[in-house]
Amino acid sequence: MKKVAFYTLGCKVNQYETNAMIEKFLDKNYEIVDFEELADIYIINTCTVTNMSDRKSRQIIRRVKQINPNSILAVTGCYAQVASKDLEKIEEIDLIIGNTEKKEIVNIIENYCKKNVGVDAHIDPKNNANTNCYNKINLTDINNQKEFVDFGTTTYTEKTRAVIKVQDGCNNFCSYCIIPYAKGRVRSRKLESVIKEITSIAEKGIKEVVITGIHVASYGIDFKDSNIRLIDLLEEINKIDGIERIRLGSLEPNLITDEFVERLKNVNKICDHFHLSLQSGCTETLKRMNRKYSAEDFEKVVERLRNAFPNVALTTDIIVGFPRRN
């Protein structure tokens, strides 16, 4: 039985997608081991939000062949998506897999093995397999991706609560952010698929779910045949037997309208902790960031939540070094 090890950097979406990839390997009878253990295949799910994320990804990449020089190393995630040409120069890497291709990762790796090292063999660095490998880069232009890539029902989790990805991509193009180029435009998951996955998770005894996406506030805006939005999805999740708590990932302040809050108050399983991305307390700076709200708007949103949820907990992100124009 071949052993596979994962290392995940970045956001909850990456955590979810790692779990989904693990489940696909388990379905093919692979054994999942800790990243520091000796494995046949190592998969690094990278992040590229900051240059620190890029550096950490490169450090982890170089560690793999020190653990097992004969292993296969596949790099995927946002850093792989936007910097594949740079990663191609790193000899330790055998495969570069884009975000859209994560769903097919088992097939990609198995095809690589058949073409390069035999069905059951491992890479021998003496043979210099990396220089003439078969389809080293496996990614498509994510800007052309129009549909949500659905991994299907994923029930694998190492925790007592499950992360559920309901949306991908972002249309905002904040001036400091690379994510729209790494994740593409907004693509929402069908409501029926989300409900099916959470129902399966509840049947396995998981009582808490975290609803996440790259820009979860945009859920549903790409649906052409319905007016379903995030609040509609949350109301449906609230009906699922066995689920006792619903958490939300990071939210944009513009989502928190009077109507949204009035309906959210009736979602009795919602956790009253909200992470609102502020980024700056200066309206002029927010304009330069292309954030589409003012500091005063943010204050009103906070007050709206405090009035609706007396024990509300609020957290945020703040960029403290955004440059000024001359």
pLDDT band at 319 (very low <50, low <70, confident <90, very high): very high
Residue 287 is inside which H or E element, if any?
helix 283-289
pLDDT band at 126 (very low <50, low <70, confident <90, very high): very low
When pLDDT is cut at 50, 70 and 90, the band that residue 134 belongs to is low
Give residue for tokens 């690379």: 178
**Rounded Cα–Cα distance for residues 24 and 64 (Å):** 22
Under CATH, what is the fold of the domain 3-140?
Answer: Rossmann fold (3.40.50)
CB 171 within 8 A of CB 183: no
- Contact of 100 with 201, CB cutoff 8 Å: no
- Give percent of the chain above pLDDT 70: 94
What pLDDT, on a 0 to 100 scale, did the predictor assign at position 127?
38
Q: Residue 117: what pLDDT?
A: 62
The fraction of the chain above a pLDDT of 90, given in percent, is: 86
CATH level 3 topology of 161-318: pyruvate-formate lyase- activating enzyme (3.80.30)
Query: What integer is the mean pLDDT of 135-163?
Result: 90
Q: Provide CB contacts within 8 A for 276, sequence distance 6+.
A: 250, 251, 252, 253, 256, 298, 301, 302, 314, 315, 316
Say what the pLDDT of residue 122 is: 40
Average pLDDT over residues 97-123: 81
157: number of Cβ within 10 Å? 18
Considering the chain, what is the average pLDDT of its residues?
92
**Residues 138-151: pLDDT tens digits?**
999 999 999 999 99
What is the residue whose two structure tokens read 């990663």?
87
Residue spans per domain, the chain? 3-140, 161-318
Helix, strand, or coil (residue 168) = strand
pLDDT tens profile 190-242? 999 999 999 999 999 999 999 999 999 999 999 998 999 999 999 999 999 99
